[in-house]
Chains A and B, each alone.
Chain A
Amino acid sequence: MPKFAVIVFPGTNCDFETVEAIKKAGGKAERVWYKESLKDFDGIVLPGGFSYADYLRAGAISARAEIMEEVKELAKDGKPVLGICNGFQILTEAKLLPGALRPNKIPRFLCKWVYLRVADTETAFTGFYKEGEVIRMPIAHAEGNYYANDLSKVRITFQYSDENGNINEESNPNGSILNIAGISNENGNVLGMMPHPERASDRWLGSEDGLKVFKSMVEYAKR
């Protein structure tokens, strides 16, 4: 059974539920304090929260932590690396993913359930989804407004949509270019997403749509 490290920086706050979601998806998972080693793990998850209280810029300080060098190595080896919310911000700050996450178009924190359209089922995290599938999960961020100068290099994974999968301005909660909610690297083994799949992995909490992100990741890591 593949084993995942859920990295905990000072200020990370979605680590426990992310571990639970991975376990539910059939993987092993452990919380790993950012000063510990990533040896013996088959994949990495950077969970949500406010690492270093978002001082400087969201994710900026964590991206420069020593442990991120190890994450980069693992990413290069093709191991799955998933960044959720603050984890996505860390991945762009660490240049593991292109582009940047700017303050929301209405510049304050927004906690809300949204619909997403799956744009790419070929990544390490989307194998269980169908192309164009519309899924539901919550966002909770103040800086999720994705932007990249050169979109040709961006592999879009998830886009904010309405419940019928239409991608339009009304369904864009934060001003992201092309309604981008999640992107992957060229290889598809590093993915960053602002919505929280771990908060949509239990039917009582409103949706189980997010569980497939973790199931896909576990399945990919078995290969």
Chain B
Amino acid sequence: MFPHEEKFIREKLGRDPNEVEKAMIEVMWSEHASYKSSRKWLKLLPTKNEYVILGPGEDAGVIKFDENTAIVVGIESHNHPSAVEPYGGAATGVGGIVRDILCMGARPIALLDPIRFGPLEKERNRYLFEYVVKGIADYGNRIGVPTVGGETEFDESLDSYTLVNVACIGIMHPDELVHSYVTESGLLLVLVGNKTGRDGIHGVTFASEELSENAEEEDRSAVQIPDPFTEKLLIEATLEAVKTGKVKALKDLGGGGLTCASSEMAGKKGFGAVIYADRVPQREPNMNAMEVMISESQERMLFAIKKENLEEITKIFEKYELEWTVVGEIIDEPRYIVYWGKEKVADLPINLLTEVPIIEWEVKPYSVEKDVRTPEIAPQDAFLKVLSSPNILSKEWVYRQYDHEVQGRTVLKPGLDAAVLKINDEYGLAFVSDGNPSYCYLNPYHGAMTCVVEAIRNLASVGAKPLSLVDNLNFASPERPEVYWSFIETIKGLRDAANAFRLAYVSGNVSFYNEVGNKPVKPTPVVAALGKVKLEHITTMDFKDEGDLIAVVGVTKKELGGSELYRILGIEGGIAPKVNLDKEKKNIEGILKAIELKLVKAVHDVSKGGLAIALAEMAIVSGLGFEVDISKVPVEAKLSPLEVLFSESQARFIVSFEKENLEKLREIFKDFAVIGEVKGREMVFKSNGDELIRVSVKEGRKIYGSLPRLLGE
């Protein structure tokens, strides 16, 4: 807390808060719980369109899929805990977002895990990587929610740190929606699930500060302990309870523990709450009121129900062998009162906990983007090097550890442009996440837009029309003027890109203070997007038949700043890709039309590694080779062959198709050129007849699958 905030609280209260009150206020006024530095700017984001049932403001967003199906979606970060204790940190991150979806009344049906680390050469980073993946796997697999995708990225700036984000979607009938706030007094507050321990004490305050070099020793107690077994029981019991229609409000206990869940539930519509903290089942002896009120022990839910329904609902908890306790009740007076036995240990106006004044930090723009000369190296060498980059390599080592099939909905599996889940016999839901801190560092505004448009391009590549977005904003300290500026630029980029597609953000998360040892992370917005696809239209990136033509959609520019080529060459500057929303929209609409008319057999979005890697991936996944002439690629100005191959310009796709559809495709796209054909078992790039690159698909596959070797396996 800042001195001016403490003064404000003293004045409001007319006295000093006691120790319990102070701890609760500290938790609720933390950046992580209050969004005090971000709230003002988040209001710029569009939150409404024809699909939105419930936008930001509760535990997760809700969109309409069809008349009988609502999709609930949310995204969370667990960066600080994962950097200190990767296994528990990542696992509890999964548990937390799953409960956010659950407490809206929906069954969680899929997870995405965008995760980022420092370079794999260092042991500490390998340790973080391996245990974050294991934490996600052990938790997600045990609760039976498939992890169907995500991203894995490595960057020098994340040395000894990690960004662990997790998105989750759930499914329900629109009538089953349960809100996270009450609209009447007299309701009982029932706490269900795990006992409360001393784990995660001050978890949100810890997540609202920079990590010191010794964080591993100092902050372990702020990390929660995962228990997926109880979570699975909690999922089934909660859904059964919701089905009765008698759950009046529901929240999970996450950051800020019981204090946050109960005060938000009561205070949102102006009610108050009395909490009997000593009744809370405790895991450890001699816990005090403060510890019970702010512990972030996992796998706990708070139900608001009428007295007369207590028996019916709690019978369900007992069936699943879950401990339950009436820990408090809703009152008319807008106060938040806590008892410990007979002693009143806290008595606050409830809005002192739930209405935290915003903070605006100083802003200072920076400029690091400047044109550089691309070094001349042999295209063959560059190709092999970029293909071998851990950022390009297949993430099979990761997703094989995730049960991505459980629940029997996964139509498109991990490793493709987007995952698709079967929702009914006709339609599927596509789900994907994208972030690119390298672009965002060079140009926060355009970088943020690339996250949005790449996610939408990924949806379009599988044939899905976008429905909705969620955002997770991972930044360093907002108290750094450059960081705060980049944050605001990011929001503006997210806003403009979404508006161009008439899309809304229905939920999101902000994580500030991502720094270790005074080293800030790059601006890292991560966007997850949902789309709707007719099952019979689903398209994949693998080449289908020899003789099919290959074309590139979109224009290639000298935009290699933040590219994978520049990264492996150690070039920090350069011009980052810019987003032309109009072209982006036209090309995406064109792809969706081409898929609907069944004109294309394979579609792949061009992103990291540029055209060269996009083509290589299409070949490696299918086993079929190709021959292309890159001098035919539409370019904006004169580019060297290396730049054409590895530029990461936006609004581009590669498609393969039968010759007879060429004219129809030309009619759809303005920037479109046939560059070659699917052919043989080799990847061959030529330029005006000169051969630049020739690598067999078999050799490419070997390299593409070499991530385990980098981990010493």
A148 close to chain B: CB less than 8 A: no
Of B134, B137, B403, B408, the contact of A202 (CB 8 Å cutoff): B408
Q: On chain B, which size bracket covers the interface?
A: 20 to 34
Report Cα–Cα, A205/B319, bound state, in Å: 33
- Given A11-B229, A205-B410; A50-B142 close (CB under 8 Å): yes
Question: Inside 8 A of A109's CB, which chain B residues have their CB?
Answer: 137-138, 141, 400-403
Chain A min CB distance to B422 (Å)? 5
* Residue interface bits B383-426, CB-to-A below 8 A is 1, else 0: 00000000000000001111111111111010000000010000
Minimal beta-carbon separation of B238 from chain A (angstroms)? 15
- Residues of B close to A55: CB separation below 8 A: 229
Distance between Cα atoms of A33 and B407 in the complex (Å) = 18
Chain A residues with CB under 8 Å of B413's CB are: 206
- Shortest distance between the CB of B534 and any CB in chain A (Å): 11
Within 8 A of B (CB), among A51-99: 52-55
Q: Please give me the residue from chain B that is nearest to A199 by CB atom.
A: B405
* B408 and A17 form a contact (CB under 8 A): yes
- Shortest C-beta distance, B134 to chain A (Å), equals 8
- State whether the Cβ of A128 lies closer than 8 Å to any Cβ in chain B: no
Chain A residues with Cβ below 8 Å from B409 are 205
CB distance from A139 to the nearest CB of B (A): 9
Chain A residue nearest to B428 in the complex (CB):
A204
Distance in Å from the Cβ of A111 to the closest Cβ of chain B? 5
Determine whether B232 belongs to the interface, using a CB cutoff of 8 Å to chain A.
Answer: yes
* Complex contacts, B138 vs chain A, CB 8 Å: 109
Contact A111 B403 (CB under 8 A): yes
Tell me if B403 and A140 are in contact (CB < 8 A). Answer: yes
Inter-chain contacts of B319 with A (CB < 8 A): 33
- What's the Cα separation between A140 and B145 when bound, in Å? 13
Whether A111 lies near B408 (C-beta < 8 A) is: no
User: Which single member of A13, A20, A112 contacts B143 (CB below 8 Å)?
Assistant: A13
Indicate if the CB atoms of B406 and A53 lie closer than 8 Å. no
**Per-position contact with A for B136-151: 1 when CB-CB < 8 Å, else 0?**
0110011110000000
- Output the nearest chain B residue to A111 by Cβ-Cβ distance: B403
Instruction: Check: A196 CB closer than 8 A to any chain B CB.
Output: yes
The contact string, 1 if C-beta is below 8 Å from chain B, for chain A 32-55, is: 010000000000000011101111
Total inter-chain residue pairs, C-beta < 8 Å: 84
For the complex, give the distance between the alpha carbons of A53 and B407 in Å.
Answer: 17
The listed residue with most B CB atoms (<10 A of its CB), out of A11, A55, A198, is: A11
Query: In the complex, A64→B428 CA distance in Å?
Result: 41
Given the complex of chains A and B, what is the CA–CA distance between A152 and B413 in angstroms? Answer: 39
Whether a CB of chain B sits under 8 angstroms from the CB of A154 is no
Which single residue of chain B is at the shortest CB-CB distance from A48? B406
Q: Bound complex: CA of A53 vs CA of B402, how far in Å?
A: 16
A205, B402: Cβ atoms closer than 8 Å: no
A48 to B403 Cα, complex, angstroms:
12
Q: Looking at B228, B405, B422, which has the most chain A CB atoms within 10 Å of its CB?
A: B405
Nearest chain A CB to B447's CB is how many angstroms away?
33
Given contacts A13-B144, A50-B142, A196-B405, contact A202 B320 (CB under 8 A): no
A85 CB to closest chain B CB (Å) equals: 10
Give the complex CA separation of A53 and B229 in angstroms: 6
- In the bound complex, CA of A96 to CA of B399 (Å): 33
Does A110 have its Cβ within 8 Å of any Cβ on chain B? yes
Q: Let me know if B535 is at the binding interface, CB within 8 A.
A: yes
Once the chains are docked, how many angstroms separate the CA of A198 from the CA of B413? 16
- A14 neighbours in B (Cβ, 8 Å): 144, 406, 408
Interface string of B532-563 (1 = CB under 8 A from A): 00010000000000000000000000000000
Task: Select which of A33, A53, A198 is within 8 A of B408 by beta carbon.
Answer: A198
CA distance A140 to B320 in the complex (A): 25
A108 to B137, CA, bound (A): 10
CB-CB < 8 A to A204: which residues of B? 411, 422, 428, 535
Identify the closest chain A residue to B140 (Cβ). A109
Nearest-Cβ distance from residue A204 to partner chain B, whole angstroms? 5
Inter-chain contact B407/A17, CB cutoff 8 Å = yes
A20 touches B401 (CB 8 A): no
In the bound assembly, the distance between CA atoms of A16 and B667 in angstroms comes to: 47
| B321, CB-defined interface residue at 8 Å | yes
Residues of A within 8 A of B137 (CB): 108-109
Q: Chain A residues near B348 (CB, 8 Å)?
A: none
B405 adjacent to A10 (CB under 8 Å)? no
Interface readout for A199-211 with B: 1 if CB under 8 Å, 0 if not? Answer: 1011011100000
Residue of B nearest to A50 (CB): B142
Contact with B along A130-160 (1 / 0, CB 8 A): 0000000010100000000000000000000
CB pair B401–A11 under 8 Å, yes or no, is no
Q: Are A111 and B411 in contact (CB under 8 A)?
A: no
Question: Are A110 and B408 in contact (CB-based, < 8 A)?
Answer: no
Taking a contact as CB atoms closer than 8 A, the residue among A11, A21, A108 that contacts B142 in the complex is A11
> Is A110 a contact partner of B407 (Cβ separation < 8 A)?
no
Q: Which of A54, A111, A198, A202 contacts B404 (CB 8 A)?
A: A111
A14 to B402, CA, bound (A): 15
Interface contact B401-A110, CB-CB below 8 Å: yes
| Chain A residues in 8 Å Cβ range of B401 | 108-111
Cβ contacts under 8 Å, A53 to chain B:
142, 228-229
> Which residues of A sit under 8 angstroms from B410, Cβ to Cβ?
205
CA distance A198 to B134 in the complex (A): 26
Give the residue of B141, B321, B399, B422 whose beta carbon is less than 8 angstroms from that of A205.
Answer: B422
Minimum distance in angstroms from A90 CB to a CB of chain B: 16
Q: Is the CB of B229 within 8 A of A10?
A: yes
CB distance from B243 to the nearest CB of A (A): 14
Instruction: Decide: A205 and B408 in contact? CB cutoff 8 A.
Output: yes
A140 to B402, CA, bound (A): 8
- CB of B408 within 8 A of CB of A199, answer yes
Question: B406 and A140: CB pair below 8 A?
Answer: yes
Proximity bits, A14-32, B CB within 8 Å = 1, else 0:
1011001100000000000
Instruction: Judge if B703 is at the interface, Cβ distance under 8 Å.
Output: no
Q: Does B53 contact A (CB under 8 A)?
A: no
Give the docked Cα–Cα distance between A214 and B557 (Å): 56
Q: A53-B228, A138-B405, A199-B408 are in contact. Are A10 and B141 (CB under 8 A)?
A: no
Find chain A residues with CB under 8 A from B320 CB.
10
Binding site for A on B (CB under 8 A): 134, 137-138, 141-144, 228-229, 232-233, 319-321, 399-411, 413, 422, 428, 535
13 cross-chain CB contacts under 8 A: A10-B233, A11-B229, A13-B143, A13-B406, A50-B142, A53-B228, A55-B229, A108-B134, A111-B401, A111-B404, A138-B405, A202-B408, A205-B409
Other than the given A111-B400, A138-B405, 5 more pairs (CB < 8 A) read: A10-B232, A108-B134, A109-B137, A111-B402, A205-B411
Those 3 A-B pairs whose CB atoms lie nearest each other, nearest first = A13-B144, A17-B408, A53-B229
